[in-house]
Structure 1
Amino acid sequence: MPELIQQAPTGNLQATHSQSGSFAEKVWNACLELIQENINSLAFKTWFLPIRPLSFSGSELTIEVPSQFFYEWIEENYSVHVKQALRQVIGPEAKLMYSIVMDKSQGQPVTIELPHQNAHAPTESDTKPERAQEPVSAERERFERNRTKFESNLNPKYTFSTLIRGDCNSLAFAAAKSIAQNPGQNAFNPLVIYGGVGLGKTHMMQAIGNSVLENRISGAVLYVSSEKFAIDFVNAIQNGNIQEFSAFYRNIDVLIIDDIQFFAGKEKTQEEIFHIFNTLHQANKQIILSADRPIKEIKGIEDRLISRFNWGLSTDIQAPDYETRKAIIQSKLKQNGVNLDPAVIEFIATNVTNNVRELEGCIVKLLAAHSLDNQEIDLQFTKSTLKDIIRYNTKQLTLETIEKAVCSFFSITPNDLKGKSKKKEIAVGRQIAMYLSKDMTDSSLKTIGLHFGGRDHSTVIHALNTIEKKITSSNEERKKIEELKKRIEIMSM
């Protein structure tokens, strides 16, 4: 039970703290405690930590969300949890107001009330008059005449059907699907996807383009790397073709640019991008960008570009978790018409944790070796074939493998293990998982604490001391730990 409920009964909560911003924060924090118990930690961090409580009056709480997309996603996926928490904290008359930031550059939020799914005040997009048909420019006419020569540069293999959705990319995936259905006519233009190497950014961006082409929403879809854009721009200047270069890009309907961090320090190129961006955005054309880190962390990019890149939705793709890695492997095998022993799939998913590209590389190498040697792909063959890629031992076990083994042993879920429940079997399982993580891996106390629900290092130390005392004083507890270690070692083979 949240501390707030213990301090004040529901009836007094409304009268005493009306219109108090600081109390709104206490109310919302109490709601978050309840919500966090019912959803996984990654979803909680993605969708609820960015929310800011604004005010609390009577039985009405107002919260600010970063975009229309945020509101729609929460309403569609988490409204039951939110409503339950509100009623529990505020009372049966609880009411929620959303303040949606429609224009981040001006800092002017548009507030909409949503007690029901279809009741809301008009937003900027609702009240915007329909754009009149613009006269076709000479450049556009030339562009349309040359459409048959137009190359989108898209890889036809990069589609949504071959893209695995998981907690690691859920926000980016949902935004990409929405954009593919209605490019340019949404609250997240531009879409900026950032993350490390080999996590699927290019696949996701090109999936949007391929979907737009497949559904014939537009034929003017272009994928280009930042390096190619910069080289073509320099060549256009040297050859006196800068007007044709600019006109071409300003007539694209869906422009996809990969790895924009390489524009850093290129002042002339950034100036051209700035003008192309403005033209496309004002014409409601879709812009999709990728980077290896958040835009604000890229040094050498002009402030005016950073401001525009942040107009829409900026979201990251993280390294895939264990279940997503298994799904990626199974999808790749299905595409190749191959079935593998589940032990082989589990071995690869457990030991290849960095990115999607490494996983796919393992499958390609395994299938190639199989076709050359004509041997059965069993666990031993897999280990031998992938020994240069996978270097495993008990000190390279992943926390996810330990988590899975402990959950299976105690018949609990990962959400239980990472949540706030203090039930005996869950609390004991959580402490054992932390103990084994420290004993069997090189992970720091901070890393272990973050993995198991964002706990601090002192909580991990307490867990280690508790389990150490138990196995020292009890043969039964020691046998339990030894059994779990055996299971974990088998799972990592």
Structure 2
Amino acid sequence: MTSKTPSKTLHPSAITQPVVSVWERSLDLLAQELSHHNYTKWVESLELHEWDGEVLHLDASDLFAKEWIEENYLARITEVVSRLSDGQVRVELGVREGGKVGVPEAPVVRRVAPGVAEVTPPPFQPGMTFDDFVVGPSNRFVHAAAEAVATMPGEAYNPFFIYGGSGLGKTHLLNAIAHRAWQENPRRTICFLTAEQFVNDLVDSTRRHRWDAFHDRYRRVDLLLLDDIQFIAGKEQTQKEFFHTFNTLHAAHKQIVLTADCSPKEIDHLEERLKTRFEWGLIGDVQPPCLETRLAILKRKALRDGVHLPEEVALLIASRVHSSIRKLEGCLIKLTAYTSLTGQSLDLARAEELLRDLLQEEQREVSPERIQQAVADHYGLRVADLKSKRRTNAISHPRQVAMYLCRILTSHSLPEIGRLFGGRDHTTVLHGCRKIDDLRGQDPSLAQTLRTLRRKLESPAGG
């Protein structure tokens, strides 16, 4: 949870210190939610411009960045700023003076020419090292393997494939590997990026006919670390290019580390030859942390940020938030913002009041199994019917209702939900969710059914 300092190109009369503090805390939270590349590329570069009491004006670097942020990140930025401001805030984007239409940047490749005497530290996320990673039963194996890979890249486990749910530390481990590998040998060439960035760079290089430069960026490195590899699924040209990149690096004994939200064989629309190669090395999954690990994570982050976190408050958060480390950090950020802005100390009652919405949101998350059972009971079916291949309306409609509820009441991804319903494709899940979402606005009976099921599932004794 590294503190990000926004640009100080502000209007002094319009931007007060509390507003600056809220924006800095918002950046902290967004840094934990987004990948390192997406955060530094799109969000961190935003500048505070003006605050008129109702609207927070931010400036993007250029028109391309403004339009991209509006489409992909503005809603989440608005939600985070409003939450930390304890009131609804409207966020509007402009383009800073001198801004122009931009083009997607190529990924940062850490390359050091032979004979250079001094080497500056690489631009990896500074708060995401092995020293900052809290080890517990849910991640001990993956952590040990990551350290081995960082110490002996290309020798220990190649490729190294890490998978698990969102917010459980996969990106942290990628950063930690990069940091350690660079510390062991500062002259190593390290390429760290997201799969989305790889796709964007491929598209841009194709448009500009810069194939040699593209191949040089990815095929002449010592370590390639790629986050969210499932993003290339269904993209034929990208998969073909990555297949050859993988082969070139692996044949040269260069280390490849990949992350995804599921195991290789469970990634839909990924070519079999890539799935096979991803399974050549070591596969490790990261599970949600246990209570003791969650407590340790909170205490370490509070200590690092200089925040006094009473034991009972730490226990409150750790016992109620269990699905994501990012949500733990989100709670801590809100408490830190409160103490920073008001100067008041924390106690259990105050923490419960401040975190009421966040904790209620976590409590509302129910298991997919409970949802399946509740829907099956409501429609007079068996859970096995929802998972079956049958496509009659009497089965497919309740199945889509259950998928829709899984989507809005749990943190499971579309591929994960598909696997819970008989191994269905994530596009099938998306279609079903959109269909129910459209129908509920037209069919009062369906809307009432959804409300009834949600009340049952979200009640303490629900399901």
> Scaled by the length of structure 1, what TM-score is found?
0.49
Deviations 1:404-425 (A, max 9, x none): xxxxxxxxxxxxxxxxxxxxxx
Equivalent in the alignment of 2:128: 158
- Aligned-residue offset at 1:299: 1.0
The answer to whether the Cα contact below 8 Å between 1:264 and 1:300 also exists between their aligned partners in 2 is: yes
- Aligned-residue offset at 1:339: 2.6
- Aligned-residue offset at 1:149: 11
State whether structure 2 residue 153 is matched by structure 1 residue 183: yes
Identity rate, percent: 40
> What is the 5 A alignment of 1:425-464?
none
The answer to whether the Cα contact below 8 Å between 1:158 and 1:207 also exists between their aligned partners in 2 is: yes
Equivalent in the alignment of 1:59: none
In structure 2, what is the Cα distance between the partners aligned to 1:149 and 1:349?
41
- Report the AA paired with residue 198 of structure 2: F
Deviations 1:6-35 (A, max 9, x none): xxxxxxxxxxxxxxxxxxxxxxxxxxxxxx
The one of 178, 184, 199 aligned to 1:209: 178
- Aligned-residue offset at 1:244: 1.4
- Aligned-residue offset at 1:296: 0.5
Equivalent in the alignment of 1:346: 315
The one of 288, 312, 333 aligned to 1:319: 288
- Report the AA paired with residue 277 of structure 1: F
Aligned residue pairs total 256
Secondary structure of 2:258's counterpart equals strand
Equivalent in the alignment of 1:237: 206
> What is the 5 A alignment of 1:135-150?
144=113
State whether structure 2 residue 278 is matched by structure 1 residue 296: no
Secondary structure of 1:208's counterpart equals helix
- Report the AA paired with residue 279 of structure 1: T
In structure 2, what is the Cα distance between the partners aligned to 1:152 and 1:307?
32
Give the direction of change, closer, same or farther, for the CA distance of 1:269–1:397 in structure 2 (3 Å limit). Answer: closer
Secondary structure of 2:344's counterpart equals coil
Give the direction of change, closer, same or farther, for the CA distance of 1:255–1:397 in structure 2 (3 Å limit). Answer: closer
State whether structure 2 residue 358 is matched by structure 1 residue 373: no
In structure 2, what is the Cα distance between the partners aligned to 1:233 and 1:153?
22
The answer to whether the Cα contact below 8 Å between 1:153 and 1:223 also exists between their aligned partners in 2 is: no
- Report the AA paired with residue 220 of structure 1: T
- Aligned-residue offset at 1:193: 0.5
Give the direction of change, closer, same or farther, for the CA distance of 1:199–1:355 in structure 2 (3 Å limit). Answer: same
In structure 2, what is the Cα distance between the partners aligned to 1:259 and 1:282?
23
- Aligned-residue offset at 1:297: 0.7
Give the direction of change, closer, same or farther, for the CA distance of 1:295–1:143 in structure 2 (3 Å limit). Answer: same
- Aligned-residue offset at 1:208: 0.5
Unaligned 5+ segments in structure 2 are: 1-110, 368-463
Equivalent in the alignment of 1:192: 161
Equivalent in the alignment of 1:482: none
Deviations 1:214-234 (A, max 9, x none): 222643112100001100011
Give the direction of change, closer, same or farther, for the CA distance of 1:282–1:378 in structure 2 (3 Å limit). Answer: same
The answer to whether the Cα contact below 8 Å between 1:143 and 1:248 also exists between their aligned partners in 2 is: no
The one of 130, 134, 139 aligned to 1:169: 139
The answer to whether the Cα contact below 8 Å between 1:152 and 1:221 also exists between their aligned partners in 2 is: no
State whether structure 2 residue 332 is matched by structure 1 residue 363: yes
In structure 1, what is the Cα distance between the partners aligned to 2:184 and 2:155?
16
The answer to whether the Cα contact below 8 Å between 1:153 and 1:224 also exists between their aligned partners in 2 is: no
In structure 2, what is the Cα distance between the partners aligned to 1:231 and 1:151?
26
In structure 2, what is the Cα distance between the partners aligned to 1:303 and 1:160?
33
Deviations 1:230-283 (A, max 9, x none): 000111111010121112211111110000111001111111111111111111
Equivalent in the alignment of 2:370: none
Secondary structure of 1:162's counterpart equals coil
Secondary structure of 1:361's counterpart equals helix
Secondary structure of 1:349's counterpart equals helix
The answer to whether the Cα contact below 8 Å between 2:161 and 2:258 also exists between their aligned partners in 1 is: yes
Give the direction of change, closer, same or farther, for the CA distance of 1:322–1:304 in structure 2 (3 Å limit). Answer: same
Give the direction of change, closer, same or farther, for the CA distance of 1:262–1:144 in structure 2 (3 Å limit). Answer: same
The answer to whether the Cα contact below 8 Å between 1:212 and 1:218 also exists between their aligned partners in 2 is: no
Equivalent in the alignment of 2:53: none
- Aligned-residue offset at 1:392: 8.5
Equivalent in the alignment of 2:408: none
Give the direction of change, closer, same or farther, for the CA distance of 1:191–1:218 in structure 2 (3 Å limit). Answer: farther
CA RMSD of aligned residues (A): 2.7
Give the direction of change, closer, same or farther, for the CA distance of 1:377–1:348 in structure 2 (3 Å limit). Answer: same
Equivalent in the alignment of 2:306: 337
The answer to whether the Cα contact below 8 Å between 2:224 and 2:257 also exists between their aligned partners in 1 is: yes
Give the direction of change, closer, same or farther, for the CA distance of 1:227–1:153 in structure 2 (3 Å limit). Answer: farther
Largest Rg, 1 or 2: 1
Give the direction of change, closer, same or farther, for the CA distance of 1:153–1:289 in structure 2 (3 Å limit). Answer: farther
- Aligned-residue offset at 1:151: 9.8
The answer to whether the Cα contact below 8 Å between 2:205 and 2:214 also exists between their aligned partners in 1 is: yes
Deviations 1:153-206 (A, max 9, x none): 5212110111001111111101001111111111x2111100111001000111
Secondary structure of 2:345's counterpart equals coil
Unaligned 5+ segments in structure 1 are: 1-141, 399-493
